[in-house]
Amino acid sequence: MDTGRELHDFARALYPICRSITGNGIRETLGLIGERIPLRILEVPSGTQVFDWTVPKEWNIRDAHVKDSTGKRVIDFQKHNLHVVNYSIPVHAKVSLEELTAHIFTLPEHPDWIPYKTSYYKETWGFCASHNQLSSMCDGEYEVCIDSSLEPGYLSYGECFLPGEHEEEILVSAHACHPSLANDNLSGLAVATFLAAQLARRKNRYSYRFLFIPGTIGAITWLAQNKDAAKKIRHGLVLTCIGDRGSFHYKKSRRENSDIDRAAAHVLKQQNPAGFLLPFSPYGYDERQYCSPGFDLPVGCLMRSVWGKFPEYHTSADNLDFISADALSESLSVCASIFDLLEKNRSFKNLTPFCEPQLGKRGLYPSTGGSSPELEVNARLWLLNLSDGTNSLLDICERSGLPFAVLSEAADVLAHNGLLELIS
Amino acid sequence: MDTGRELHDFARALYPICRSITGNGIRETLGLIGERIPLRILEVPSGTQVFDWTVPKEWNIRDAHVKDSTGKRVIDFQKHNLHVVNYSIPVHAKVSLEELTAHIFTLPEHPDWIPYKTSYYKETWGFCASHNQLSSMCDGEYEVCIDSSLEPGYLSYGECFLPGEHEEEILVSAHACHPSLANDNLSGLAVATFLAAQLARRKNRYSYRFLFIPGTIGAITWLAQNKDAAKKIRHGLVLTCIGDRGSFHYKKSRRENSDIDRAAAHVLKQQNPAGFLLPFSPYGYDERQYCSPGFDLPVGCLMRSVWGKFPEYHTSADNLDFISADALSESLSVCASIFDLLEKNRSFKNLTPFCEPQLGKRGLYPSTGGSSPELEVNARLWLLNLSDGTNSLLDICERSGLPFAVLSEAADVLAHNGLLELIS
Amino acid sequence: MDTGRELHDFARALYPICRSITGNGIRETLGLIGERIPLRILEVPSGTQVFDWTVPKEWNIRDAHVKDSTGKRVIDFQKHNLHVVNYSIPVHAKVSLEELTAHIFTLPEHPDWIPYKTSYYKETWGFCASHNQLSSMCDGEYEVCIDSSLEPGYLSYGECFLPGEHEEEILVSAHACHPSLANDNLSGLAVATFLAAQLARRKNRYSYRFLFIPGTIGAITWLAQNKDAAKKIRHGLVLTCIGDRGSFHYKKSRRENSDIDRAAAHVLKQQNPAGFLLPFSPYGYDERQYCSPGFDLPVGCLMRSVWGKFPEYHTSADNLDFISADALSESLSVCASIFDLLEKNRSFKNLTPFCEPQLGKRGLYPSTGGSSPELEVNARLWLLNLSDGTNSLLDICERSGLPFAVLSEAADVLAHNGLLELIS
């Protein structure tokens, strides 16, 4: 079966669930992810102190609506879970249109779309509606009802750990707290889940840790409870907005020149020359936490269209049509290539460093002199020339301009012929 | 009253005085400056050895003219003090036009302008005239008279020292030796004087030292007599040609990346995007001496039009019309901004370096999730992210691309909230 | 007599000889070079182990041809020595056209040209012909005859050592193994020979070592037998394809910023602004061996058109018309300028580092103030400013943008006046 289709189907299965940073929506989501990969689900009690933050009360919602005087549901949570401001406290009241309007968010510039709003840390209630909906509401009394609960409970997150040959880890982090929004971030959940499934099927040099967490508070909670484990992270990627048809954008880690940054740059150059590299900034998704100065982890963020820069962002238009099977599949492939590069990024030592070794007698060089070397021969020469103990394959790749895959294969051939020795 | 107008008026008051590197002209000039700011006037005897140089004899002039055979003053020092080659020795003689012409400088390409010429270290005499003047002189005998004196005396300069919280100093240096030339350098004298007056009215972190000195020999004299004091100079600016209507030019210090260079670059980018940064070169004004290798002080040079690059330079066309009140006022403001930046350039330490602190509970973060942060919020995030003890506000300013003023205010807010601690 | 003409005549004298990596052709070539410069000729026995390589058997050839059934020599070594695959083993046989064709190389895209082919390390035989020649050959039986020998003997190379004031050496290396090919590399042999002759006539700071060697195996042999001597090499140039009318190309050493790289860049910028700088790559001529990681010598490669990038490369069209007297002469001059720069690249210390010294009293500064300094004055100021013990003349040249020659002369003037002291 086609991988892109499978990815899209998985996003489709997750789409209707009303997720938030806590509650049954995220639990149900983790349950579906756990059907595909080995997933440990952790529950952290409300009130737990995590650095400067406190795990909030758990939020759940059953129903919500605004009824007009005829009893008609003019705004209905059952029709779209974006209709309620996420984390709204329960309310049941009769209000005038004027009072109600102060609690309704719309997008006048996109009158058919419903915005996505949250209020995690300030207790309030509200509705989101299309501007057309609001415009069609007449003066009069309305019944508002939000059947939600905000009570001590738990923050839930999922962790998939795949042990590798080394203790050193590659982190993949995707936020799982958004309700019916496809690109942000069902795309990230789907790609991360499929990546984990792929990696679980093979032996890896690195260990991998996949986190499916509520944004911000989830990353902070994980870091607070795993301060030592975080030290093992050698490379990391935050995945978000990775399913739309836009060009790739890779936002660099705080260090700006870590291996993950260079690996992502190389893979984009090779596979998606239209892709962009963005400098680090402290605003964004959970790379904000991983790259906080106390941790300063080499964690970048891979996107297609950049969050906040496309009109559908945080609206009901970020739906299943906005993401495509092809884009999801390509994103999965780019991630896999980045990790493949990191897996294969090794350093070798030239065992015959004085002059070139005679490649010809080993069948590694054309016997008739010509004018331009094959890619493979060129890769062999670059590897021999730069493998002086200070350069990794990625270093050689950057200096030579040759594709990493060609260099990696050539290094294996040279090592097999006793010309290079693996040093790390 | 309008500052630009005041600056121009001050330049106007200084304009008629016939200054030179020694003598009563510079004394009178220092006297007028001393009416506005606390100024210590120093007198260094002729013959004093200052490094490789010797303080020259003192030059004074009362009158000079060239009379034709009818007794008419065809060149008259009383009409313009540029008419005499500065530092001309006394002469009184009758000469033919041919002999005279060998002692007259003109500007054929600008036939109405009088050039400015000096001969400080070679004893000679000469006149400067407009080319039209020279052309209209017929053959015949002329009486030349320069009623000057060149005798042992003193080199005079003024120093305004404003003690600050720290011993470390910011140096402002302006040459005060040019006669009736407005941009070069009455503009520098006026701006430096007004800057000193402004800084004297407030408490400063740095101490400030303003030098009003004859060019070259004055800077050398000060450095020779203040070799230890020079070590306290942390930043410095030479001010010249700062009153015309041209774009700003900042010439970097020899180090090219000192804080003054970066501060000037930032202020120009913010306030005068049309401004230019010039690399250091060892030719120019007194930055030549401050940046000599034995001192290598971080002293740049701020100009509007670059000396030697505008046709009016060192001619009678560099007059009071060539400088404008608006330009002077803007120059004062740019200088003040540069010093303000240096005053406020501090380093902070993030006291909650592990993950972001919860800004929302302190009212420092919008409670409803949106898509792009306010400038202030963005500044807070950059400050928290980069305040790891290695970055000054200027470093953070350069990396983030945010205006220094916004970052500085945001740092104060974060420090007030206990999130940042001042470390230097 | 005109140097360009002499260079071209020397190439003409060498052109008819059938050279190879061993044998009498290269011996005869070295004999002609040795008539012009002091040349030591070394003979290394076949079978000698040189790092990973073995000195091959010696190859010599007397005659070769392909005769058609009428006895007509349709391919004739006597007409052009490219007609035989270099290092062909002896053969004498009758073959069908089909069998023969498998042993014939042509260039269909240039039907009049004969390609150049070698098979040093795989024993085989073959002919090269113009494509028109091959096309005109009818079916039938052909007699092939290669009257060559491949037997234990010697690898021959020539070394011209010119002792200088210092033990440190500048290396010039040119391969001498190509048969009748003018640009590659009679141009290199001629320019190197004339350079050596020029340098032998004067006193030099550096010692010079000129190597006239078979490509690859010759450089490897020299390095293997002179591992310690190689440590004295401070700068080096491989010369090839230096006689055609194309723009200069300088390929940097592996270090990319060694003095030879910077010197070549400066000379090209000054003398041949159309010249190009190429990054290092491990494919090319003998810089491959000198820049192998065990040696990592600062050796670049100077070319006009780049080998392999012009259609005449390694064909009979690389003949005496393809190179010109003017181009050879200009190449000689560029090489001489590069070495001249290296000879004169010294470091000085400013003996009056505090402020500028008074140049005027030493006649080194114009006595009348002007607006832009002479080149010489500017050079003096730059030298005084940057001669703090950390900068060579080449460093000062790069920072100031001034021509090296002007700086070098100015440094001598300042040193003569006691203002600078030579430190290295």
pLDDT band at A374 (very low <50, low <70, confident <90, very high): confident
Please state, as a whole number, how many other Cβ atoms lie within 10 Å of the Cβ of residue C73: 17
pLDDT of A1 reads 60
Please state, as a whole number, how many other Cβ atoms lie within 10 Å of the Cβ of residue C407: 25
- Closest by CA position to A119, among listed A111, A127, A131: A127
Instruction: Please tell me the distance from the alpha carbon of residue B229 to that of residue B169, in angstroms, as a whole number.
Output: 9
pLDDT band at C294 (very low <50, low <70, confident <90, very high): very high
pLDDT of B55 higher than 60: yes
Across the interface, whether the CB atoms of B294 and C353 are under 8 A apart is answered yes
pLDDT of C369 higher than 60: no
pLDDT band at B1 (very low <50, low <70, confident <90, very high): low
Contact status, residue B412 vs residue B401, Cβ threshold 8 Å: no
Instruction: Please tell me the distance from the alpha carbon of residue B365 to that of residue A122, in angstroms, as a whole number.
Output: 12
Interval C59-95: pLDDT, tens: 999 999 999 999 999 999 999 999 999 999 999 999 9
pLDDT of A367 reads 65
Query: Which of B348, B351, B354, B400 to mutate to probe the A interface, most A CBs <10 Å?
Result: B354
Query: Which of C20, C51, C313 to mutate to probe the A interface, most A CBs <10 Å?
Result: C51
pLDDT of A295 higher than 80: yes
pTM here is 0.93
Instruction: Please tell me the distance from the alpha carbon of residue B123 to that of residue B87, in angstroms, as a whole number.
Output: 8
Instruction: Enumerate the residues of chain B whose CB falls inside 8 A of the CB of residue C367.
Output: 119, 121-122
pLDDT of B366 reads 78
User: What is the percent of chain C with per-residue pLDDT over 70, rounded to a whole number?
Assistant: 98
Across chain C, how many H-helices and E-strands are there?
12, 19
Q: How far is B55 from chain C (nearest CA, A)?
A: 12
pLDDT of A366 reads 78
pLDDT band at A368 (very low <50, low <70, confident <90, very high): low
Across the interface, whether the CB atoms of B121 and C367 are under 8 A apart is answered yes
Residue C292: which of A354, A367, A377 has the nearest Cβ? Answer: A354
Question: Which amino acid would we find at residue C87?
Answer: Y
pLDDT of C50 higher than 60: yes
**Lookup result for tokens 């011993």:** B167
Query: Which of A354, A355, A365 to mutate to probe the C interface, most C CBs <10 Å?
Result: A355
Residue of C nearest to A353 (CA): C294
Alpha helices in B208-285 (DSSP H): 217-225, 259-271
Q: Where are the beta strands (DSSP E) in A80-232?
A: 91-96, 104-105, 127-128, 141-151, 154-162, 169-175, 207-213
User: What is the percent of chain C with per-residue pLDDT over 90, rounded to a whole number?
Assistant: 96
Across the interface, whether the CB atoms of B292 and C354 are under 8 A apart is answered yes
Instruction: Please tell me the distance from the alpha carbon of residue C298 to that of residue A81, in angstroms, as a whole number.
Output: 68
Residue C417 three-state SS: coil
Sign of CA dihedral C122, C123, C124, C127: positive
- Our CA dihedral for C227, C228, C230, C235, rounded to 10 degrees, sits at 160
pLDDT of A370 higher than 60: no
Residue A293: which of B350, B373, B378 has the nearest Cβ? Answer: B350
Q: How many CA atoms lie within 13 A of B416 on its CB side?
A: 10
Across the interface, whether the CB atoms of A355 and C291 are under 8 A apart is answered no
Instruction: Enumerate the residues of chain B whose CB falls inside 8 A of the CB of residue A52.
Output: 352, 355-358
Interval B352-408: pLDDT, tens: 999 999 999 999 987 665 555 689 999 999 999 999 999 999 999 999 999 999 999
What is the average per-residue pLDDT within B34-51?
A: 98
pLDDT of A369 higher than 90: no
pLDDT of B210 higher than 60: yes
Contact status, residue B219 vs residue B286, Cβ threshold 8 Å: yes
Across the interface, whether the CB atoms of B354 and A122 are under 8 A apart is answered no
- Closest by CA position to A344, among listed A388, A403, A287, A275: A403
What is the average per-residue pLDDT within C351-360?
A: 97
ipTM above 0.85, yes or no: yes
pLDDT of A372 reads 59
Burial class (CB in 10 A: 0-12, 13-18, 19+), C424: exposed
Task: Name the neighbours of B, counting chains with at least 3 Cβ pairs within 8 A.
Answer: A, C
Q: How far is A417 from chain C (nearest CA, A)?
A: 13
Q: How many CA atoms lie within 13 A of A172 on its CB side?
A: 27
**Lookup result for tokens 């059947």:** A147
Residue B117: which of C360, C368, C385 has the nearest Cβ? Answer: C368
pLDDT band at C366 (very low <50, low <70, confident <90, very high): confident
Higher-pLDDT residue of B121, C198: C198
**Lookup result for tokens 């792009």:** B372
What is the average per-residue pLDDT within A122-136?
A: 96
pLDDT of C246 higher than 60: yes
Residue A294: which of B353, B371, B382 has the nearest Cβ? Answer: B353
Instruction: Please tell me the distance from the alpha carbon of residue C400 to that of residue C263, in angstroms, as a whole number.
Output: 15
Please state, as a whole number, how many other Cβ atoms lie within 10 Å of the Cβ of residue C49: 9
Please state, as a whole number, how many other Cβ atoms lie within 10 Å of the Cβ of residue B249: 20
B231-234: list long-range contacts, CB under 8 Å, 24+ apart.
B232/B167, B232/B168, B232/B169, B232/B207, B233/B168, B233/B169, B233/B170, B233/B171, B233/B209, B233/B290, B233/B297, B233/B298, B233/B299, B234/B168, B234/B169, B234/B170, B234/B206, B234/B259, B234/B298
Mean pLDDT score across all residues of chain B: 96
Across the interface, whether the CB atoms of A227 and B388 are under 8 A apart is answered no
Residue B209 three-state SS: strand
Chain B positions touching chain C (beta carbons under 8 Å): 50-53, 117-119, 121-122, 216, 219-220, 223-224, 227, 254, 281-283, 288-289, 291-296, 307-308, 313-314
The C-alpha angle B126, B127, B131, rounded to 5 degrees, equals 135
pLDDT of C30 reads 98
pLDDT of C374 reads 86
pLDDT of B81 reads 97
- Is the omega angle on the peptide bond into residue A185 within 30 degrees of 0, that is, cis? yes
DSSP secondary structure of A372-407: S--HHHHHHHHHHHH-EEEEEHHHHHHHH---HHHH
Instruction: Please tell me the distance from the alpha carbon of residue A315 to that of residue A209, in angstroms, as a whole number.
Output: 30
Q: How far is B137 from chain C (nearest CA, A)?
A: 25
Interval A379-395: pLDDT, tens: 999 999 999 999 999 99
Q: Please report, in angstroms and rounded to a whole number, the separation of the first and last CA atoms in chain A.
A: 38
What is the average per-residue pLDDT within B155-174?
A: 98
Interval B255-279: pLDDT, tens: 999 999 999 999 999 999 899 999 9
User: What is the percent of chain A with per-residue pLDDT over 90, rounded to a whole number?
Assistant: 96
Across the interface, whether the CB atoms of C356 and B283 are under 8 A apart is answered no
Q: How many CA atoms lie within 13 A of A128 on its CB side?
A: 24
- Closest by CA position to C120, among listed C144, C88, C80: C88
What is the average per-residue pLDDT within B218-238?
A: 97
pLDDT band at C372 (very low <50, low <70, confident <90, very high): low
Residue of B nearest to A88 (CA): B368
pLDDT of A112 higher than 80: yes
DSSP secondary structure of C44-107: EETT-EETTEEPPPEEEEEEEEEE-TTS-EEEETTT-GGGB-BTPPPEEEEEEHHHHHTTEE--
